[in-house]
A = this chain, B = another copy of it.
Amino acid sequence: MPIIPPALSDLIDAFGLLPGVGPRTAERYAYYMLKHDGDTPEKLASALQKLHAGVGQCSKTFALVPAGQDISDLYSDPSRDKTIVAVVAEPFDVVALEKTAQFHGTYHVLGGLVSPIDGISPDQLHIAELIKRIDSDKVKEIILATNASVEGESTALYIRQELGARKVKVSRLARGLSVGVDLEYADQLTLARALEGRTYL
């Protein structure tokens, strides 16, 4: 005898698909939706249904754009410097970098990182398109803004090699202590990187 009506357990299962959501959290979300009138579930349902049709990919930078738009505003904006390109793994990394309001170049989204374990090889990423952009836009510097992980590092190294003899500055984001982190709580590797990359006053 099921204690939970099927319509509710279906919703719990569906919420359980979300990353980091266990059975208890999924129950809490589902029950929240049950306690609220039809508007709240309907709002989420309609946003979900419109998602894929409403989001496109910039044909140049592979950043997210509203459906129907070909080129991202972050590329077409004339005030942005097309000769500096920040190379990121995922579209949301663009959002994170934009929030700093410190970068005025353009972006290039790889669509992932090289990862033999997950079966992702370099030719599945938008690396060829990056090389093409470097040539056509006369790019002077690329910032390899990939994660500080094994995949992030190896993707950066791969791109460095692919650039060949092109005269383009290549940089990586600095590795070091996060702002506000106590020295004693920093992990060994981070601390080693912070030592390596120390700046002189």
Contact = CB atoms under 8 A, between A and B. Distances in A.
Query: Copies per complex?
Result: 2
Interface string A85-106: 0000011101100100000000
Interface string A167-181: 000000000000000
Task: With a 10 A CB-CB cut-off, give which of A15, A30, A92, A95 has the most chain B CB atoms.
Answer: A92
A14 interface: yes
B66 A6 contact: yes
A42 to B, nearest CB: 7
Interface stretch (A52-60, A115-123, A133-141, A193-201): A52-60
A158 to B, nearest CB: 22
A67 B1 contact: no
Interface in A1-51: 1, 3-8, 10-11, 13-15, 17-20, 25, 27-34, 37-38, 40-51
A64 B7 CA distance: 11
B4 A73 contact: no
A81 interface: no
Contacts of A65: 5
A150 to B, nearest CB: 21
Contact of A55 (B7, B25, B32, B46): B7
B3 A74 contact: yes
A11 to B, nearest CB: 4
Nearest to A49: B45
A162 interface: no
A70 interface: no
Which 6 pairs show the lowest CB-CB distances between chains A and B? Answer: A7-B54, A45-B48, A41-B48, A45-B45, A14-B44, A11-B47
Given A31-B90, A33-B48, A41-B52, 11 more contacts: A1-B77, A5-B55, A5-B64, A5-B66, A6-B66, A7-B66, A8-B54, A18-B29, A42-B48, A45-B46, A45-B48
